[in-house]
Amino acid sequence: MRKVVVAVAAAVAAAGALSMALPQVRGALWPEVKAADAPPAPPPGVPVTAGTVEAKDMPVFLNGIGSVQAFNMVTIKTRVDGQIVAVNFNEGQEVKAGDQLVQIDPRPYKAAYDQANANLEKDQANFANAQLNFQRDAAIISSNAVSRQQYDNDKAAVAVDQAMVDSDKAQVEAAQVNLDYCDIRAPIAGRLGVKLVDVGNIVHANDSTGLVTITQTKPIYVSFTLAQEHLHKIHDKQMQGDLTVHAYGADNVTLLSEGKLTVIDNTVDQTTGTIRLKGQFTNADERLWPGEFVDVRLILNVRKGVATVPAQTVQEGADGKYVYVIKPDDTVERRKVDVASVQDGLAVITQGVTVGETVVVEGQYRLVNGARVKATPAAQKPAS
């Protein structure tokens, strides 16, 4: 009886152990079955920066280096000798034509003017008296009341006095001119430079240095040169209308002003093979300053609605330039492109991509044709 009880207990214990081990066996077998039935996971995509092909109006231009030139520039000098008694301007001031700048002591020239006037009045009196004498002799010459010699003398005296009066008038005008020269005024509108003399100094008409300079900055010129091979192209485009000139800062990015081409020099410089041109700018905000060097772009025409991508998108390969185009399934296609120009950080593409397509902007060095990518949109740059 005791043996039967022991056998039953052993059987119960074996059944319990089997029931506890069965789930673990199932867990170990089930993943193998599940992994065998599911498709393999796709490889992770290569991280890249993506951008979009955009349509833009891009100018076609010629590059040059130019210098800003004042429209007019005048060195103010005295035309009479004397002492400066007043300086009626501030350095750097903007003046109008006719504004008073410097006053020379006018007293010596006023005295000369008064003296010339006095001589004129005296000689005018003598002239009037000579005319009366001549008129009296002319009235009685026919009756032989006066000799013919007296008549001729009176006639000559009238002519001499007339000449004296004319000479005195010229002296008065000269004295008036010198007196006016004591009041020095701006001959043109513009901006004054640095003051070169102070009150109390004696100046002379033959001094080599001036008193101050005036430069007309509104409008203003930019003079620049281009290679002679562009001359005929410029002429052809100018026949169709005015050509636009852009002046940029030293970084060749900051647009300072926009003007029009006004002058093409009449000869080519044979030593350099270049042609000199001038653009005129209104310069209302005075962003162009005389003597400044600027980068110049002469706009020949504008490409309308062309496909553009950031310049770093285009890569150079053994068979030419190419870009990676991102397809809807997140794979890339290496596509050959034709680049018309690269300007202002943008590449103008005439063939190979269409507007609206997504391209790889950065991260191309890890890609091959057909590679899977994980694209991140390029950060939007702030407007310049």
Looking at the structure, do residues 121 and 152 belong to the same domain, yes or no? Answer: yes
The answer to whether residue 328 sits within a structural domain is yes
pLDDT of residue 41: 63
Looking at the structure, do residues 299 and 309 belong to the same domain, yes or no? Answer: no
Query: Which CATH number goes with the domain that contains 137?
Result: 1.10.287.470
The answer to whether residue 210 sits within a structural domain is no
Domain C-terminal end among 142, 176, 203: 203
The answer to whether residue 173 sits within a structural domain is yes
Looking at the structure, do residues 157 and 250 belong to the same domain, yes or no? Answer: no
pLDDT of residue 39: 65
The answer to whether residue 262 sits within a structural domain is yes
pLDDT of residue 135: 85
The answer to whether residue 384 sits within a structural domain is no
Closest to 226 measured CA to CA, from 178, 166, 298: 298
Looking at the structure, do residues 267 and 340 belong to the same domain, yes or no? Answer: no
Tell me the backbone φ, ψ of residue 141, rounded to 5 degrees.
-65, -30
pLDDT of residue 279: 97
For the entire predicted model, the pTM comes to: 0.69
Closest to 179 measured CA to CA, from 260, 80, 249: 80
Looking at the structure, do residues 192 and 81 belong to the same domain, yes or no? Answer: yes
Looking at the structure, do residues 309 and 197 belong to the same domain, yes or no? Answer: no
pLDDT of residue 381: 43
Query: Which CATH number goes with the domain that contains 364?
Result: 2.40.420.20
Looking at the structure, do residues 251 and 367 belong to the same domain, yes or no? Answer: no
pLDDT of residue 136: 80
Is a pLDDT exceeding 80 seen at residue 9?
A: no
How far, in Å, CA of 253 to CA of 136, rounded? 89
Per-residue pLDDT of 327-359, as tens digits, reads: 999 999 999 999 998 988 899 999 999 999 999
Query: Which CATH number goes with the domain that contains 255?
Result: 2.40.30.170
How far, in Å, CA of 205 to CA of 227, rounded? 45
- What is the domain range of residue 266? 62-70+215-303
Task: Judge contact between 70 and 220, C-beta under 8 A.
Answer: yes
Q: Encoding tokens for residue 111?
A: 């005295």
Looking at the structure, do residues 323 and 272 belong to the same domain, yes or no? Answer: no
Question: CA angle, corner 77, sides to 71 and 80, nearest 5?
Answer: 145
Looking at the structure, do residues 83 and 199 belong to the same domain, yes or no? Answer: yes
Say whether 271 sits in a helix, a strand or coil.
Answer: coil
pLDDT of residue 20: 52
Count: domains in the chain: 4
The answer to whether residue 208 sits within a structural domain is no
Q: What is the mean pLDDT of the chain?
A: 87
The answer to whether residue 383 sits within a structural domain is no
Domain C-terminal end among 273, 303, 333: 303
Written as one string, the DSSP assignment of 133-172 is HHHHHHHHGGGTSS-HHHHHHHHHHHHHHHHHHHHHHHHH
How far, in Å, CA of 269 to CA of 215, rounded? 28
DSSP assigned state of 283? -
Task: Judge contact between 346 and 59, C-beta under 8 A.
Answer: no
Per-residue pLDDT of 188-226, as tens digits, reads: 999 999 999 999 999 999 999 999 999 999 999 999 999
Looking at the structure, do residues 197 and 264 belong to the same domain, yes or no? Answer: no
Is the bond preceding 108 in cis, omega lying within 30 degrees of 0?
no
pLDDT of residue 382: 42
Question: CA angle, corner 34, sides to 28 and 35, nearest 5?
Answer: 95
Residues 6 or more apart in contact with residue 110 via CB below 8 angstroms = 179
Q: Which long-range contacts (CB under 8 A, 24 or more apart) does 250-253 make?
A: 250/293, 250/294, 250/295, 252/295, 253/344, 253/384
Higher pLDDT, 13 or 233: 233
Query: For tokens 């009366």, what's the residue?
Result: 132
Looking at the structure, do residues 107 and 176 belong to the same domain, yes or no? Answer: yes
Closest to 73 measured CA to CA, from 206, 210, 191, 196: 191
Is a pLDDT exceeding 50 seen at residue 22?
A: no
Beta pairing partners, 356: none
Task: Judge contact between 43 and 371, C-beta under 8 A.
Answer: no
Domain C-terminal end among 169, 203, 237: 203
pLDDT of residue 155: 87
Looking at the structure, do residues 140 and 186 belong to the same domain, yes or no? Answer: yes
Q: Encoding tokens for residue 208?
A: 């080599």
The answer to whether residue 264 sits within a structural domain is yes
Which of the residue ranges 67-71, 130-134, 136-140, 241-245 would you say has the lowest mean pLDDT?
136-140
pLDDT of residue 30: 46
Is a pLDDT exceeding 50 seen at residue 127?
A: yes
